[in-house]
Amino acid sequence: MIGKITLKPLKKYWILKNLKLKHKTTMSEENKLYTFWSLLEEYEIIIPKIQRDYAQGRDDKKVEIIRNNILDDFEKILLGEKEQLNLDFVYGSNENDTIIPLDGQQRLTTLFLLHIYLVKISGNYDQKNKDIFKKFKYEIRSSTQKFINALIENEFATDIENQPWFFNSWKKDPTVKGMLVMLNAIHDKFKGEKELWIKLIGEQKITFYFLPLDKFKLTDELYVKMNSRGKPLSDFENFKSWLDEKLTQLNGFDNSDWSLKLDTTWTDLFWNNDNDDYSIDNEMMNFFRGIAMSNYVQKIEVSDENKNIFEKRIGELNDIDKVYLSNNEYGDILFNVGIQTDIFSDISKFLDTYSQKEETILGLLKEVNFWGDDNQNLFRKFIQNPTYSDRALFFGLFKYVLKHSDLTEDRTEAERFFRILRNLIENSEVNASTLKNILTSIAKMTEASDILTFMVNDNSLIGFNGNQVKEEQIKARLIDENFAWETKFKEAENHLLFRGNVGFLLNDQINDNQLENFKCLFERSKEIFAIDGISKKYKENSIFLRAFISQMDEWGQLWKITYDSEKETWSKILKNEYLRPLLTKIIKEDTQQYEKWIIEDSKITNINEVQKVVHENLYKSKLLNVAFKKCSLRWAYNRHILAPKGASAAHKVYILDSKRNKVLSQMINDKNNECSSEQKLGDIDIFWGWDIYFTYKKKEYIWNWRGEENEVRYGEASVTIENLSDLVSLKMKLDPPLELVHQ
C-alpha cells in the first residue's frame, strides 16, 4: 500500500456540468427552448419517487427569501419590466413521451403552481386546460398526487385547507404543505392579475432547455448516485453553474482553466479531513460571497442619499447565515459594479499564489501573532463565519498577495505590513458604516513598497481609529530611526490585553531616553495588567483602580470610566487619550504609593463639598471591592449614584452624595444604639438602594432619600430630616420614636 487516499464524495454538480458542456456542443433543433406549458402540452411529466419533497414552499426564513426572489423575477417578466427569464436546463429521461426529471423538479413544480393559479383567476379554465394539467404527476406519495388531482378539479380558493374537498391528513405531507405555502405566496403577489395567464402561455416569457439524459447512456447506478439521499444541489453548486455561464460571456477574461482549477487545485485550499462535502461547498460559497462584498464596498459610490441603503446592503452581505441572497443578486454585485474582468483575474491570481505558498503565508502570519491559536489563518476565518474585522484583515491579505506575490523576497517588510494592519483593525470600529473607508485605506497601504515610509509620510488613512493611526505613525518613525524599537513594540503589542495599542507607554515628547523609559513602563505594565484586566495582585482591595481614581484632578474624568477591574473596562481606558497621562503616572509608581494616595483628600479643584464627597467615596471607601461590575457614575433623581448602565434594581444602586451614609453608619457602628440594616455594605459606610430599611431600638424604619425627598417613616407616620448634620440630630428625630408621632 503506497499511501492512504481520501476520495471526495461524488458530486451531482460535476456530472451535470459536464453533461451541459457536452450538450452545448451537440445541441440540435430537437433540443428547443421550452416554456412549462409547451413542455406539458407535448409530454407527461412524472416526478419520481427518488426525488425529494417540494422545497421551495418550506416555511423557513432562507426559503422564504428564495421564494420571494423567484416570484419577484416572475413578476418583472410578466409585467414587462424584463423581456425574458431563462431557468437554465432541466435534466431527465424521456421515454414514450414521458419526462422523468432528474434535476429541475423544484422549478417545474413552482411553474405548475403559477400556471394553475393564473389560469383559474383568469376565467379561462376549461376542459382542455384541465387535461393538460393532469399530465403533471407526483410519484413520491399518493397523498401528493391526490392533492394535485383535487387542485386541478376544483375551483381555486384562498382558504384551500378549509375546502370540503381538502383532507386534513394531507397536512402531514411535506410536499402538500410546501405547495400550500407557495400558492399563498403566489396569491399575495398576483391576486387580481387576470390578464397574466395569456401573457404566460402566449409568449416565451419564462423558458428553459430540456436535456434528455438518455442520449448520454447514464446507468441506473449513476442515476441513483446523482440523487443520493435526495440531496439538492448546494448553494455553491448552483452558484458555480451560474458563474460558469457568466464567465463565458465576460469579454477579456480567459476562463479556459478556471473551472478545472476550481474543481482541483483551488478546492484543496478548502479541503481538510474534518470537512464533509457540504462544508467545503459552504466555505467556497462564503469565499465568493466575501469577495463580492469587498468588491461592492470598494466600487460603489456612496452619497448622503443612498448611505442607509448601502449600509443595509452591507449588513445583508455580512450576515451570510441570516440573510439569503440569490445568484442573480450576487451577480448584480460581481458583474455590475466596477471592472468585472479585474475581479475575476484577481481571484484567479490570488488562489494560484495562495495554493502555491500557503505554508509560507501561514508561517508569516504566525510570526505576526493574532492573539490566538488559530486566528493567524486569515483565509480560514474568512471562509467560515467572518466578522467585519476578519473581512478587513483578509482583504489586506488578498490585496497584499496580489501586489507582492513573492512573499519570501522581503519577509520583514511583509511582517511589518500585517503587524500594522492588525493593530489598526483591532483598535478600530469595523462595521457597515466604516468598512468602505477602511478597505480604501488598506488598498493604499498594500501599494506601498516600504510600509514604514508610507506610515510616516502619508496622512490619507481614513476609517480607522484616529488615535491608533497616530500611534502607528509615531512607532513607524521611531523604528525607522532605530530598529531596536521594533522588538520592544512587538513584545508590548502582543500582550493579550494591549492587543496592538501601546500608546499609553509613549510620552508625547520623544527623546534619547525614551526607549529605556518605554522598556521600564512595559515591565511595570506587565505586572499590573493581565489578559482579563487588572492582575490578581493589583485587583486585591481594588488598589490599582482606587489609586487611579484618587489621582484624577478633573471632575469630568470621573464620568469617563467604568468602575471595575475587568478586561473591557481597561481595554477602553488604555485607548482613552484623555486619560493616558494619568494612567502613565499611576503605572510608574508602586503599591506603597498607591496606599498613600487612597487616604489623601481629593485633588480636584473648583468643585463643591458634595462633589468632593462623591469623589472621595469612590476611592477612600472600599465600595469598589463589593460593587457590581460595570458600574458607572450617574446622575439620577438629583443624586450622584454608582450603578450599572440601565440598572433598575435597587440593590445595584449606591448613593454617593448622601449624608445619610455617614450619619446612619455612625448609629449602626455604635453597638450601644441597637441599630442595624441589612443594606449596609459590611464595614463600609455606604448602603445599597434608594430606601434604607433599618431597625432602631427594635422598631423598623424606612429612610427614603430620592430626589428632594428626605424622610424617615415608621408605619404610616413620617418625619422630614432637615439640616441633618450628625448623629445627634438624627437621634433627636427618632427619640421619642415615630410611633408617638403616629399616635
> If DSSP codes are grouped into helix, strand and coil, which group holds residue 572?
helix
Residues 6+ apart with CB under 8 A from 412: none
Instruction: Specify the higher pLDDT residue, 52 or 510.
Output: 52
Q: What is the pLDDT of residue 736?
A: 64
Please give the Cα distance from 262 to 236 (Å, whole number): 12
DSSP 576: -
* Extents of the domains making up the chain: 12-233, 277-481, 525-648, 658-742
Please give the Cα distance from 282 to 278 (Å, whole number): 6
φ/ψ of residue 25, rounded to 5: -80, -15
Give yes or no for a contact between 151 and 180, defined as CB atoms under 8 angstroms apart: no
Which grid cell is 374?
A: 488559530
The dihedral over CA atoms of 21, 22, 24, 29, expressed in degrees to the nearest 10, equals -160
Q: What is the pLDDT of residue 422?
A: 97
Q: What is the pLDDT of residue 81?
A: 83
Confidence of residue 239 (pLDDT cuts 50, 70, 90): confident
**Which range among 30-39, 238-247, 345-354, 526-535 has the greatest average pLDDT?**
526-535
φ/ψ of residue 633, rounded to 5: -80, 130
Average of per-residue pLDDT values in the chain: 85
Give yes or no for a contact between 160 and 133, defined as CB atoms under 8 angstroms apart: no
Above 80 in pLDDT, residue 323? no
Confidence of residue 6 (pLDDT cuts 50, 70, 90): very low
* Tens digit of each residue's pLDDT (9 = 90 or more) over 571-629: 999 999 999 999 999 999 999 999 999 999 999 999 999 999 999 999 999 999 999 99
> What is the dihedral sign for C-alpha 264, 269, 274, 278?
negative
Of 667, 674, 669, the residue nearest 728 (C-alpha): 667
Q: What is the pLDDT of residue 161?
A: 92
Work out the end-to-end distance of the chain between its first and last CA atoms, rounded to an integer number of angstroms: 103
To the nearest 10 degrees (0 to 180), the angle between helices 340-368 and 327-336 is: 90
Residues 6+ apart with CB under 8 A from 494: 369, 371
Please give the Cα distance from 724 to 731 (Å, whole number): 10
- In 560-685, which ranges are continuous DSSP H helix? 567-575, 580-588, 591-597, 609-619, 623-626, 659-669
Say how many residues make up the chain. Answer: 743
Give yes or no for a contact between 442 and 392, defined as CB atoms under 8 angstroms apart: yes
Q: What is the pLDDT of residue 553?
A: 96
- In 427-512, which ranges are continuous DSSP H helix? 435-447, 451-457, 466-481, 484-493
Of 588, 583, 532, 593, the residue nearest 557 (C-alpha): 583
* Tens digit of each residue's pLDDT (9 = 90 or more) over 249-270: 777 777 778 878 888 888 888 8
Site of grid cell 469612590? 618
Least confident of 4-18, 167-181, 185-199, 660-674: 4-18
Instruction: Specify the higher pLDDT residue, 60 or 526.
Output: 526
Site of grid cell 485587583? 539
* Tens digit of each residue's pLDDT (9 = 90 or more) over 447-491: 999 999 999 999 999 999 999 999 999 999 999 999 999 999 999
Q: What is the pLDDT of residue 1?
A: 31
Q: What is the pLDDT of residue 731?
A: 78
Opening angle at CA 91, ends 86 and 97, nearest 5: 105
| 662-681: burial string, b at 16+ Cβ within 10 Å, e else | bbbbbbbeeeebebebebbb
* Tens digit of each residue's pLDDT (9 = 90 or more) over 298-316: 888 887 888 888 888 788 7
Confidence of residue 722 (pLDDT cuts 50, 70, 90): low
* Tens digit of each residue's pLDDT (9 = 90 or more) over 652-700: 999 999 888 988 999 999 888 889 999 999 999 999 999 999 998 888 9
φ/ψ of residue 481, rounded to 5: -85, -30
Instruction: Specify the higher pLDDT residue, 210 or 36.
Output: 36
Which grid cell is 80?
A: 414587462
Query: Which strands form 691-696's sheet, in the order they lie side by side?
Result: 675-676, 691-696, 699-704, 711-714, 717-720
Above 70 in pLDDT, residue 742? no
Neighbours of 52 (CB within 10 A): 16
- Paired residues of 526 in beta bridges: none
Above 80 in pLDDT, residue 705? no
Please give the Cα distance from 206 to 474 (Å, whole number): 62
Q: Per-residue pLDDT averaged across 105-120, rounded?
A: 94
Residues 6+ apart with CB under 8 A from 138: 46, 47, 144, 145, 148, 175
DSSP-derived secondary structure for 661-689: HHHHHHHHHSGGG-EE-TTB-TTSS-BBS
Q: What is the pLDDT of residue 523?
A: 96
How far does CA 671 lie from the centroid of its chain? 58
Q: Per-residue pLDDT averaged across 280-294, rounded?
A: 87
Please give the Cα distance from 176 to 109 (Å, whole number): 11
Q: Per-residue pLDDT averaged across 401-424, rounded?
A: 90
Please give the Cα distance from 155 to 501 (Å, whole number): 71
Of 642, 699, 687, the residue nearest 663 (C-alpha): 687
**Which range among 100-104, 221-225, 358-362, 508-512 has the greatest average pLDDT?**
358-362
Q: What is the pLDDT of residue 391?
A: 96
Confidence of residue 215 (pLDDT cuts 50, 70, 90): low
* Tens digit of each residue's pLDDT (9 = 90 or more) over 490-506: 999 999 999 999 999 98
Give yes or no for a contact between 582 and 551, defined as CB atoms under 8 angstroms apart: yes
Please give the Cα distance from 503 to 579 (Å, whole number): 12
Give yes or no for a contact between 389 and 425, defined as CB atoms under 8 angstroms apart: yes
Specify the long-range contacts of residues 58-66, CB closer than 8 Å, at least 24 apart: 58/178, 58/181, 59/177, 59/181, 61/322, 61/324, 62/324, 65/323, 65/324, 65/325, 65/326, 66/324, 66/326
Give yes or no for a contact between 575 and 658, defined as CB atoms under 8 angstroms apart: no
Please give the Cα distance from 563 to 627 (Å, whole number): 9
Max CA pair span of the chain = 111
Residues 6+ apart with CB under 8 A from 607: 555, 615
Q: Per-residue pLDDT averaged across 72-89, rounded?
A: 86
